[in-house]
Amino acid sequence: MAHLSVNIDHVATLRQARENVQYPEPVSAAMIAEIAGAEGIVVHLREDRRHIQDRDVKLLKQVIQGKLILEMAGTSEMIGVALDIQPDVVTLVPEKRNELTTEGGLDLILNKASVSKAVSTLHDSGISVCIFIDPEPEQIKIAHHINADMVEIHTGTFCDASTSSKKERAFSRIVDAVKFAHKLKLVVNAGHGICYNTIKAFKGLKEIEEFSIGHSIISRAVLVGMDKAVREMHKLVKEL
Ligand code: PXP
C-alpha cells in the first residue's frame, strides 16, 4: 500500500503573508497530518526562504514521529543545512528564484557531476537521497548510476494537461518511467500537482511507494475548515 507524504509548504506561505504573525504554525499542521495518517512530512527549504524557514525544519525534526523529507536544491548551503538537521530523506530538486513552484525535474544529463557529489556527501552522513526527475529513461538511468536511493517521478505534466489526449500521453510516460525505475531497484515515488481527482489515475500502479502531495491538501484544508473557523469568530463577535 502506497504511503502519503504531506507537503506543508503552503501553511508557511500563509504565515509569511503577514509580517510579525506566527500563525498558522507549520509544525502544528505537520502534527495533525501525522495524526490523520500521513507517513511523511515534506518541506521545501528554498534559497529565498519564501515559505519554510530553517527553524521550521529544525522543529519538525524534533517533533514528528514519521519520516521528515527535506526538499532542497543541491547547493553547498543546503547540503550544510541537511547535514546539520539530518532529515530522513533529502529530495534534490531544481530551483529557480522566479518560479512559483518547482517547474520540472532535475536535469541529470546537465548536472550529473554536481548531483553525484551531493548524493555521496549526503550518504556519508547517513541520509537517504531521492532525486526529483521527469519521467524519462535517460534521467532514471543516471539516477541509478549515481547511486540515488529513490526517484520521485514528476507528475505535473500529467496533472496539468489540458486535454484528455495530452493527459493519456503524459500518463503513459509516467507508467513506463515508474516500471523502468522499479526494475532498476530504485524506490519510486511520485509527486507534483496531484489533486483529489488525478490521484485516482494511479490506482493499480503498485510500484509507486509514496505520493508527495501539498497544494491540493492545503487548499482543501482551507475550505473544509472554513465553516468552523467562521462559526468560532462569529460567536466571539456576538459575545462583544
Ligand atoms: N514534489 C516536489 C519535488 C515538489 O517540488 C512539490 C511542490 O513543492 C511537490 C511534490 C508537491 O506538489 P503539489 O504542492 O503540487 O502537491
What domains appear along the chain, each with residue ranges and CATH number? 3-238 (3.20.20.70)
3-state secondary structure (DSSP) of residue 221: helix
The mean predicted confidence, pLDDT, of the chain is 97
Kindly tell me the burial class for residue 204, based on how many C-beta atoms sit within 10 Å of its own C-beta (0-12, 13-18, 19 or more). Answer: exposed
CA of 219 to the centre of ligand 1 (A): 13
Q: Helix, strand, or coil here: 71?
A: strand
Q: Is any atom of ligand 1 closer than 6 Å to the C-beta of 91?
A: yes
Pocket of ligand 1 contains residue 213 by CB under 6 Å: yes
Q: What is the pLDDT of residue 102?
A: 74
> In this structure, what DSSP letter does residue 6 have?
E
State yes or no: is 44 an active-site residue.
yes
Segment among 11-20, 96-105, 145-154, 188-197 with least mean pLDDT: 96-105
Residue among 127, 218, 230, 143 at smallest CA distance from 178: 143
Q: In the chain, what is the greatest distance between 2 CA atoms, to the nearest angstrom?
A: 66
The yes-or-no answer on residue 152 being catalytic is no
Predicted local distance difference test score (pLDDT) of residue 99: 77
Q: Catalytic one among 10, 51, 154, 192?
A: 192
Q: E-strand spans in the chain? A: 3-7, 40-44, 67-72, 89-92, 128-133, 150-154, 187-191, 208-213
**Cα separation, 153 vs 130, whole angstroms:** 10
Q: What is the pLDDT of residue 95?
A: 87
215 CA closest ligand 1 atom index = 14
47-64: pLDDT as tens digits = 999 999 999 999 999 999
C-alpha cell at 240: 462583544
pLDDT confidence band for 137 (50 / 70 / 90): very high
The Å distance, Cα 132 to ligand 1 centre, comes to 10
- For 26-44, write each residue's pLDDT tens digit: 999 999 999 999 999 999 9
